Chain A
Amino acid sequence: MKRRALLGGMAAAAGLGLLGCRPEAPSGATGALALRMVCDPWAGYYPAALAEVDGDFAREGLTVSMERSTSTDRMLAEFFAGRFDLMCASLGDMIPIAARDPTLRIVLTSDESAGADMVFRRRDVDPAAVARLRIGTDLNGFGELFMRDYLAHAGLAERDVQWLHVDAGDVAAALDAGQIDVGNCWEPFASAALAAGHVKVFDSAQTPALVTQVAVCQRRLLVEERERMRGFCRAWFAATDRWLADVPAGAARIEAALRLPAGEASLAGIRLHTLDDNRRLLTGTPPGLAPVLQRYAEFHARRGEAPGDLGALFEDAVLP
């Protein structure tokens, strides 16, 4: 009996020793996945804020920290440097990095600008009367294509123009300084231009689908965290539906969560994309968004830039 007890004790000690040297489970394998997201100050991306504050992300096992960048160029560079897991930007703004990073993937489309992007002329200038029209826009993104639509619309397509690179946040100042004759920007910068007396002559309601906003990430994230990214989309669209069901209440909650001034989470001129919109735009053969991307590809090709294989942006869809 004693011998059996001795043997049992030794076996138990050995077992415990083996258990004790078991390799540790990878940290974070079962905890919440922390995602770092960066975006422009654009209301179309704010369903993410609503999903975070209402606990939609938490219920999907996610923690999403949202950083709003005041410079699109810097935002793109930092995302490219791997500082963020997700980036929300306009489709046209992402073409340059899509060309350099073939692993970039669209997670979802958040919205479409339907009037919130505007073209302003300087208050004392008639564009048709200027000999050489100076146009200020972000030449790296959708701005030049958007402004070319404006020129065509205003019958100025054949005019002698000078293209100047001006961030949306600097447009009002450049108009004031007389450095440009027309320029484009969006809220909240558009309010500053209007307040300075400059005149809105065109907006994105006249360019359907051209200014579509998307959330992108590296393909690696979709592969390694497919289910959680599907949960990310689920939470995003749940928040979108809730916001659309009661727009003032959703805007108030977002402004409180992000400490925004009243009215900055306005959906004026913005059409949020629901899950059904996303299924239409991102899936199918070809996806609904493909013609818009094709237009950007052709535009960049004409500028002498190689946009790469933009069709890869649609791969690995994680829509719920």
Chain B
Amino acid sequence: MKARTRVAIAILAFAALPLILVNGSSYVERRADAARSADLVLAGNADELAALLAATRSRWLESVRADARLPSADALLSTEGPPDPVQLSRFFAAIGSRDTVNINAVGLLGLDGRVVEDSRAVNRGRDESLAPWFLRAMATGQPQMVGPYTAPGDAVPGLFFTAVVRDAAEERRGVLRVRMEPSVLGQVMASALVATPGLSATLLDPEGRVLIGVGTLGERAMAIGNDVARESAEVLTIGDERVAVAPVANAPWRVAVRQPAAAWSAPQGTLKRDWLLETVLLLALLLGASLLLGRRIAAPLSRFSAVAGRMAEGDFSPVPRWSGAEEARQLGTALDGLATQLRETIGSLSRELAQRREAEEALRASREEYLALVEQLPGAVYRCANRDGWPMDYLSPQVESITGYTAEALLAGDAQGYTRLMPAEDVAAIGPVVDEALRAQGRFELRYRIRHRDGRLRWVWELGSVHPSADGGAGRLTGVLFDITEKETANQAMGLLRGGVEDRVGGDFFEALAAGLVRVLDVDTVLIGRFRGAPPSSLCSLALAHRDGRSERIEFGLTGTPSGALVEAGALEVVDDVHRRFPDDVDLQRRGLRAYLGRRLDDRHGRPIGVLAVLNGGAMQPGSAAARLLDLFQARVAAELERVIAAEALQHLAETLENRVAERTRELEAANASLSRAMEQLVQREKLASLGSLVAGVAHELNTPIGNALTVSTALNDIHRQFAGELGSGQLKRSALERFVQENTEATQLIERNLQRAATLISHFKQVAVDQASMRRRTFDVAELVVEVLSTLSPTLRRAPHQVQVDIPPGLCLESYPGPLEQVITNLIENSLVHAFEPGRTGHIRLSAEATDAGIRLRYEDDGRGIPVDVRHRVFDPFFTTRLGQGGSGLGLYLVYNLVHGRLGGSIRLLDGGTTGVCFVMELPAVAPAAGEETDG
């Protein structure tokens, strides 16, 4: 804390404390005064209220005493019989009009206590002899006040005033009783409290019960002892109220003036606020004064402190002008001199230090750049002596990634660890190259192998240079080492492809590739296999090449093997402990293999067909060249394997094709025979259906004429019986005889016409039936034949609104088969009725014929909806119908075509009739071919 602040706080503390104490003491006194004042207000109100109630009570008592002395009172009590109503009304009005609000009833009681007259009619005759106001008045002879009191039979209390009525001789005549509303007491109290808002008042009975209350708290019960304020006013706190209680003189009442404690203490709260305000203002003034004083005292010290602080931070500039007391100015000048000396000394030291730091910084930067350069090289840097075994004295850390050993490990001992990693033949091979460089004092470039810590061989490319010793000899060798295993492996793989694998196919390809990969990758085994089963369940090796040159063929189940896992995974690389991961693969363990890198071979459709895998007895490195070579050869091997499989399938197909053709031919022949039988059955069924339709038509058509004949013959029988009766009675008149003859003649003619009609129909039906059933050949007139056909179809035609027009000249005769021709015409008409016309529309059918050179041309037309263009070429096909499931069999026109082209020896075609209607044209020969000579359709 600064000295200035400390000084200010000390001044503030010493000055403020006494002031606060004095002011606090004053506040306590003022607060007590405020409480006393509030109590005085309460007590004054209570005293005033008590005095007012006492005075009012006395006034009321005096009033009732005076009323009782009115002569009319004595007169009303002394009157025998009903009183004069005018006198009575005036008496009651004289008393009641004094307070129309509060005087409730005025009554005159006899000496026996019975109500003689009352301003309230219902009170007349009531016995009040036991009422306290009556008893007290009679006992004392003085005016009395009773209540608030609830009389027996009344629901609410009243305030009763009584006075004895005396006659002129001062003899008692009765009692005047005035009943007032008790609220009148409240009115008195309320009027007294008007001057002091916020106060409530309660009138208490001797036991402390609330009689009347005014104001917010007035009617609230209060717990107050019987001994409180019996003689004089008392102020006390009851619950959350401040209460002043005072006795009412000459009455058994006490009056309490009440105020909420919060309102009572409000002025004290104001005092408290004022006191706090004063205190805060006082403290603020003291604070300001003490700060000013502290600043004056502590300012020189602050400046010395600031200058010293600046010097500590290296700022030695002098203060322009020291101010203040003499001692302070001298001390400041001395401080400036000291600062000057320090500035010069520190300046020289700083310069020397800066130069040394710059030199060290340059050296450190140079070292860091060198190390960064060496360590960021993709290869390792070395330095060795030119002695046997080339002992190293430096190897950069990158040598670990090349050899698997740290630089420290290779530098340990005789420092020839790196040289020992080289195969002896490679050491021998590079010796001459190095010797040549030593002689030439120049650079050399080497390519050799080293045995990596993982046991595998790595290729290294080395670029070195010779550093002569002081005597001119080759003292040291330095250079860089690069791992070129990847590049060498790739080169060898490319050589493998170019050197004999690429041109081979099938088994030779797989064998050559497996053997080459063993050699290039320096691994124990390479497996190329083909899956068996769908999904794959076993693997048959196509090539299994070993390091020692052996090759074998195996087949094994995939369950629990790495190759089985490949089916799902697609690629698998287990670089160590593969036998732990696949403990069920006994063969793997037996061969002592620890690493497995494999790729699944898929065909062009993505189906797994085989495996290409590398297996090794030692652990392999993740991300080795072997994995990349597998990726490189995966597609090529898969393509070759797919080609082999396709060739096998082609061979198999060629072997089985002839058998399959023969089998399919037999199946087709059987199906064709079955279809022919089914069609024959359907045709026969269609013919039977036509015959059934014919019989139904015949029955219906014959029913009309035969029924008519039967009806007429029945009527004729009745006429005959009536006529016989008249004849037998001998009363036959001429007119009856003539009527009988006329009716007989008409009936006979009717019967004859109907039977003739039936005979004609039967003849037609017989001809059609015989023709259709027997396929009889005869010469017939085409027009007559058409008429007969229409007769048989007339029941059907009559049910429809359509019209049939026949334009066939008579005399066109054919020597042919009428039955099939009728069948043809019937089918065409029924076809039109079923398919051609919209419901509710009247259609037209037209049959016409003309003679041709070879016979006749018969044309059948309708104006229905026609046949869609895209299906016209199929209308004569069997089973073709546009109403399948709705009554169409699909055989109608097929039968027509067969009959016309077959038995009738003609032809039929469907003309292109546009969008409406159909038009069939039949060319029929005049002489039909004999049976077995039908034209080929």
Contacts and interface: CB of A to CB of B under 8 A. Distances in A.
Contacts of A18: 273, 276-277, 280
A57 B666 CA distance: 104
Contact of A170 (B89, B122, B186): B122
Interface in B863-886: none
Most chain A beta-carbon neighbours within 10 Å: one of B89, B181, B215 = B181
Contacts of A97: 101
A170 B102 CA distance: 19
Interface stretch (B264-272, B717-725, B771-779): B264-272
Contacts of B155: 70
Contacts of A177: 122
A166 B122 contact: yes
B9 to A, nearest CB: 8
A21 B273 contact: yes
B465 interface: no
B287 interface: yes
Given A2-B1, A14-B284, A179 B273 contact: no
Nearest to A2: B1
A82 B100 contact: no
Nearest to A179: B121
B319 interface: no
B711 interface: no
B416 interface: no
B119 interface: yes
Interface in A173-226: 173-174, 177, 179-180
A174 B122 contact: yes
B122 A179 contact: yes
Nearest to B122: A170
B184 interface: yes
A165 B97 contact: no
A81 interface: yes
Interface stretch (A22-30, A122-130, A255-263, A276-284): A22-30
Interface stretch (A3-11, A148-156, A237-245): A3-11
B707 to A, nearest CB: 80
A23 B89 contact: no
A82 B120 contact: no
A145 to B, nearest CB: 15
A100 interface: yes
A112 B586 CA distance: 116
Contact of A23 (B124, B273, B277): B273
Contact of A21 (B5, B156, B189, B272): B272
B290 to A, nearest CB: 11
Interface string B532-568: 0000000000000000000000000000000000000
A227 interface: no
A295 interface: no
Nearest to B189: A81
B151 to A, nearest CB: 14
Contact of B121 (A2, A3, A27, A165): A165
B287 A80 contact: no
Contact of A82 (B4, B101, B215): B215
Contacts of B121: 134, 136, 164-166, 170, 174, 179-180
A27 B262 contact: yes
Interface in B5-44: 5
Given A23-B269, A173-B122, A179-B124, A10 B283 contact: yes
Nearest to A300: B100
B789 to A, nearest CB: 87
Contacts of A173: 122
A173 B126 CA distance: 14
A266 interface: no
Nearest to B104: A73
Interface in A90-149: 96-97, 100, 132, 134, 136, 140
Contacts of B119: 165
A89 B222 CA distance: 32
A298 interface: no
Given A80-B183, A165-B121, A74 B276 contact: no
A121 B511 CA distance: 141
Contact of B2 (A3, A7, A10, A167): A3
A244 to B, nearest CB: 34
Interface in A11-61: 14, 17-18, 20-24, 27
Contacts of B246: none
B85 interface: yes
Q: Is the interface of B mostly helix, strand, loop or mixed?
A: helix
Contacts of A21: 269, 272-273, 276-277
Given A3-B2, A174-B121, A24 B287 contact: no
Contact of A96 (B101, B212, B270): B101
A316 interface: no
A77 B266 contact: no
B251 to A, nearest CB: 18
B187 interface: yes
Nearest to B105: A165
B101 A100 contact: yes
A22 B100 contact: no
Contacts of A27: 262
A163 interface: yes
Nearest to A171: B122
B214 interface: yes
Contacts of B277: 18, 21
A315 interface: no
B190 interface: yes
A162 interface: yes
A136 B121 CA distance: 8
Given A23-B266, A74-B183, A82-B190, A305 B97 contact: yes
A159 interface: no
Interface string B72-96: 0000000000000100010010000
Nearest to B182: A77
Contacts of A83: 183, 186, 214, 219
A76 interface: yes
A294 interface: no
Nearest to B124: A179
B13 to A, nearest CB: 13
A65 B649 CA distance: 107
A136 B181 CA distance: 21
A183 B276 CA distance: 72
Nearest to B185: A81
A132 B182 CA distance: 35
Contacts of B185: 81
Contact of A74 (B89, B92, B100, B156): B156
A3 B156 contact: no
A162 B156 CA distance: 28
Nearest to A73: B104
B181 A78 contact: yes
Contacts of B4: 3
A2 B214 contact: no
Nearest to B89: A163
Nearest to B193: A82
B5 A3 contact: yes
B181 A77 contact: yes
Given A3-B5, A81-B212, 20 more contacts: A2-B2, A3-B2, A14-B280, A20-B276, A24-B266, A70-B155, A77-B101, A77-B181, A77-B184, A80-B102, A81-B183, A81-B189, A83-B219, A96-B101, A163-B89, A166-B122, A170-B121, A177-B122, A304-B97, A305-B97
Interface of B: 1-2, 4-5, 85, 89, 92, 97, 100-102, 104-105, 119-122, 124, 155-156, 181-187, 189-190, 212, 214-215, 219, 262, 266, 269-270, 272-273, 276-277, 279-280, 283-284, 287
23 contacts: A14-B280, A14-B283, A20-B276, A22-B273, A27-B262, A74-B104, A74-B156, A77-B182, A77-B183, A77-B184, A80-B183, A81-B186, A82-B186, A82-B187, A82-B215, A132-B85, A136-B121, A162-B85, A164-B120, A165-B121, A170-B122, A179-B121, A180-B121
A-B pairs with the 4 shortest C-beta distances?
A: A81-B186, A21-B273, A77-B181, A77-B183
